[in-house]
Amino acid sequence: MNTYDLIIVGAGPGGSVAAKIAAEKGLKTVFFERGRKPGEKNSSGCGLGPRMFRDFPEMMKKLTPEKCHSMRAGVAARNYFVNKDDIVAGYIMARPTESVSYEPAKSWITMNVYRSEFDPWIAEFATDAGAELKTSTLIIDLLKENGKVSGVIDDKGEKYKAPIVIGADGAVSTVAQKSGLRSKWSQNQVTLTLQYDFQAPSEKIDDIMGDETLAVWWGSNFPASYQVFFNDGFHQGLGNWMTWWDKTPLFYLNRVVNLKYYQRLLKILDAKPRELQAHLLPWLDYPYNTYTDGIILIGDAGGFPCPLEAEGIYPAMVTGKIAAEVAAEAVSSGDFSKESLKKFDEGWKKTSIGEEFEAGAELWNIWKALPFSPKETMSWFVPMIMEILGGIFDWSQPHGKRVRQIISHVKSYMPKATPFIMKNVFPLVAKIFEDDLDKIMDPKKIMKVLPKLLDMLPQKKKRRGSQEK
């Protein structure tokens, strides 16, 4: 029998950070990976956020292209707007703005890496700290003694003992299932995400994309599709909540890839499809059931990806750190009860992750209603945005007349846009500024004023320079 202080199921970034910190605190720690090496089963989550570098500086400053060949800083990000005729109607490109407050967030938006390189790199911190990594090992069940968690068992029948188990085993967490914390997600708590990886020569990406290394394709015929560039390739992927799909996910992803604009991009980048990957991605408005007697769930297993854009690695690392600290306290006190482990929830709620989830429901709502509702929302959102962006720079009429034409046309979208703003934008604004909705804006008043205001705008102005005396 193999006996430990702490067992961690999963050797992704969350499990590895937990293992590192637990080992540093002197806990005899083992962590398990079902692949032959960490990262071998992971796809996506490949954009490292700047908060990782702020909150885990000792580790992250050691991440170099020598260790992680695929690294590419995602400096500028582009948002393509694709209309219902599958034409790229326009785009906005942005870099970190003047109000961004710290490095490296000032220099780039994400650092893109392939998980097959990043995950083994981060696991090494844990093994260097003395944690034991067992690869090619699938944990299939929890062991229990007198009704209490006492360890885990692998698919070869090997048993490992410990009074506490951290589930860092992803969206379809065996630890969550076997501990009774969750048999599966509700259908609106998890998305199915798939992506192609394309290979492309580094020089081509440098020449054509420059430091623009991230894009979101906002479509009227497909859920928002992300594009992430690495050193020698890029991902194109998309996802949606489980019951959204009326055709296979591949149908929608191929719709992006088959855009005329996209085909041109593939051609000039000399890009070739290299891999196809699919995974479940928890996307919750608020994490729940994250701990019980002898069990803590972290990262995707606990439902911690960001409620807006589903950043997963940073929340996994933060929750991994807190879980390890709580586990160490439990080991020293000998109390592994649910009551004792509630410190885990208290802990993450005080972090940047906790603050993110404070507006979780509102962020989740707006994301679901906008980019993930192509037919219902993006079909009018794209032409409306482009009417404003593209309409101004148009010399088909005197510019004053164009502005009136544009506003008059934008008005025609109001029956769809107004309820959307009322339902999704106002509550988010109210939540962010921690004020009652009524105090900021009375929806009834706005409904009354807005159409009148818009009515006033397209009125023709008296001509300047007329000869009237």
Partner 1 sequence: MKIELEGLTKRIPGTGEFISINSLKCNNCDRCLFVCVMNLWRKKEGKIYLAEDYQSKCLECAACFQVCDAGAIMFKYPAGGTGIVIEKG
The contact set with partner 1 (CB under 8 A) reads: 34-36, 39-44, 46, 70, 114-116, 135-138, 140, 154-156, 171-172, 174, 184-185, 187, 190, 192, 194, 196-197, 199, 230, 233, 242-243, 245-250, 254, 257-258, 263, 266, 273-280
Decide whether 195 or 424 has the Cβ nearer to partner 1. 195
User: Do residues 165 and 142 touch, judged by C-beta distance below 8 A?
Assistant: yes
CB of 97 to partner 1, least distance (A): 30
* CA–CA distance, 469 with 458 (Å, rounded to integer): 26
Decide whether 93 or 250 has the Cβ nearer to partner 1. 250
CB of 211 to partner 1, least distance (A): 21
Decide whether 250 or 440 has the Cβ nearer to partner 1. 250
Q: What is the DSSP letter of 462?
A: P
> Residue 368, exposed/middle/buried by CB under 10 A (0-12, 13-18, 19+)?
buried
CB of 274 to partner 1, least distance (A): 6
Decide whether 225 or 424 has the Cβ nearer to partner 1. 225
CB of 186 to partner 1, least distance (A): 9
Structure tokens given for 7: 């067992």
Sheet holding 148-154, edge to edge: 2-3, 159-161, 148-154, 139-145
Whole-number Cα distances in Å, 149 to 168, 295, 392, 410? 16, 8, 65, 60
Nearest to 363 by CA among 437, 417, 304, 285: 285
CB of 46 to partner 1, least distance (A): 7
CB of 7 to partner 1, least distance (A): 15
Decide whether 87 or 192 has the Cβ nearer to partner 1. 192
Whole-number Cα distances in Å, 411 to 177, 387, 415? 51, 11, 8
Decide whether 112 or 424 has the Cβ nearer to partner 1. 112
Decide whether 27 or 190 has the Cβ nearer to partner 1. 190
Task: List, as one string, the DSSP characters of 427-460.
Answer: HHHHHHTT--HHHH--HHHHHHHHHHHHHHTTSP
* CA–CA distance, 413 with 417 (Å, rounded to integer): 6
Decide whether 219 or 233 has the Cβ nearer to partner 1. 233
CB of 350 to partner 1, least distance (A): 31
| Alpha carbon 95 to its chain's center | 19
> Residue 395, exposed/middle/buried by CB under 10 A (0-12, 13-18, 19+)?
exposed
Decide whether 36 or 460 has the Cβ nearer to partner 1. 36
CB of 381 to partner 1, least distance (A): 25
CB of 136 to partner 1, least distance (A): 3
Phi, psi of 250 (to 5 degrees): -65, -35
* CA–CA distance, 117 with 26 (Å, rounded to integer): 28
**Which residue matches tokens 């209309």?**
83
CA angle 107, 305, 49 (to 5 degrees): 10
* CA–CA distance, 34 with 19 (Å, rounded to integer): 16
Structure tokens given for 422: 């009322």
CB of 16 to partner 1, least distance (A): 16
CB of 171 to partner 1, least distance (A): 7
Decide whether 272 or 448 has the Cβ nearer to partner 1. 272
Residue 88 region by backbone torsions, left for phi larger than 0, else alpha for psi between -120 and 50, else beta: beta
Decide whether 201 or 273 has the Cβ nearer to partner 1. 273
Angle between helices 202-209 and 260-269 (to 10 degrees): 130
